[in-house]
Amino acid sequence: MPLPDNAVENAVGKLDGIAEELMRKSGIPGLAVAVVHGGKTVYAKGFGVKDNRAGTGDANKVGPDTVFQLASVSKPLSATVVAHQVGEKAIGWDTPVISKLPWFALSDPAVTRMVTIGDLFSHRSGLPDHAGDLLEDIGYDRRQVLERLRQLPLDPFRISYAYTNYGLTAGAEAVAAAAGKSWDQLGRDVLFGPLGMSSTSYRFADYEGRKDRAVGHIRIDGGYQAEFVRDADQQAPAGGVSSSVNDMTHWLEMVLANGSYQGRQLIDPKALLPALTPQVVSSPPSEPAMRTGSYGFGFNVGTTSAARTQLSHSGAFELGAGTNVLFLPSADVAIVALTNATPSGVPETLTAEFADLVQFGSVREDWYKLYTGAMLPMSEPVGSLIGAQRPANPTPAQPLSSYAGTYRNDYWGPAVISEKNGKLALTLGPRGDTVELTHWDGNIFTFSFISENSPPGSISKATFDGGKLTLEYYDEAVFTK
């Protein structure tokens, strides 16, 4: 299907209005957008503010050089780091991970022997969805999380898709080990440096040190508040990049040019292509007429209703980032949208409307309804007691001292229950994170906190049964006294 006349130019001309309307409807604090077409940046602009506590003066306005946390838009960037190393023959997409990380293992010895860097970058290793994320939440470092993955049951190898930040991070660690340097240094050396992305980094400290930086905002009671900080260093290859849209245009240009940038071939096209082509089915169709969604190595790969290949990825931090990048290679155009708020569907809506305008000259779907319907539920409270009424006459608890002690679990580590001043407290994780337990009924207590994986209003049960403690939030894990 041919593009409408002046398709990209006309679509770019409508971006201001699209962005302003999405800001109005959603209430998000800040947004930055950039478009690359024909080997150059044709649009780069910021909207709103970096920090809604700091007023609306010029110093607080978002611009194209404002640095945002990318969240999982880090994954396609990391895939291009790997592609560079594949092109240099330092590693292969089919290199077994244990050949570079001998300490790495999964629960099935056969899978441990066979799992490759490509398997981990396409989420087809069999690891459960988001495996390891909650370990990060309670303070385990990257190596500790990766070593605990061997305790998790696996789905069928290479035919199951389950999105895993720490699976991809393990693959990246193998690539870094082969290079003999840290992952963040490798990214600087082979990608950010050669592309001139001077405001881009895998290190959280670099993000925090930027003067022109958008802070994260979490949605609480319908509004956005800058209350929490998301340090993603432990899963940096999967979610730790920070960048500006101006920096991102350099990378967009390189991907559209099959690894070339400003006349220099940075990445071998033969090494990059596997990342941009389907490696596993990620979204099976629910009926024959529907299109299949696939995942490459770090990229979502799909086909639009105009029969054009579309590459994309979203990023989402509950604590304050929503991002999206989208490529239409056959139209030689790509767009990036970055926000500093809990996932809202805004960046996905903006890039989808832009893609419609490029291909058809008009917006053909209610993308805002579709994407808010997909994204907003991610921020809903979790826990089986959400909406439940506290018992009017609860069964009394046992003497609190009888619950106190250390309860052990090989995956999560020890859970310590302590009693002080007539209250129970739960301490879990290497940081010693402690929450108060509130009696609910009988031997059931509850606890609440806000974190990357526990949205505001979440409630978890802590259930005692003799010498066992079950913690609902932590995957119904059983701890033994």
Locate 234 and state its tokens.
């432990």
Q: Which domains does the chain have, with CATH numbers?
A: 7-379 (3.40.710.10), 400-480 (2.40.128.600)
Give the pLDDT confidence of 275-317 residue by residue, as tens digits. Answer: 999 999 999 988 888 889 999 999 999 999 999 999 999 999 9
Closest CA to 244 of 23, 82, 50: 50
Closest CA to 451 of 425, 439, 438, 433: 433
State the pLDDT at residue 222: 84
CA 307 from centre of chain: 28
With vertex at residue 23, the alpha carbon angle to CA 22 and CA 24, rounded to the nearest 5 degrees, is 90
State the pLDDT at residue 288: 86
- Which helix (H) or strand (E) segment holds residue 83: the answer is helix 74-87
Residue showing tokens 């971006």: 15
State the pLDDT at residue 347: 98
Cα–Cα dist 414/87, whole Å: 45
Ranges in the chain, pLDDT < 70:
none
Locate 124 and state its tokens.
């087809």
State the pLDDT at residue 287: 87
Closest CA to 156 of 116, 127, 126: 126
State the pLDDT at residue 468: 98
Please tell me the pTM assigned to this model.
0.96
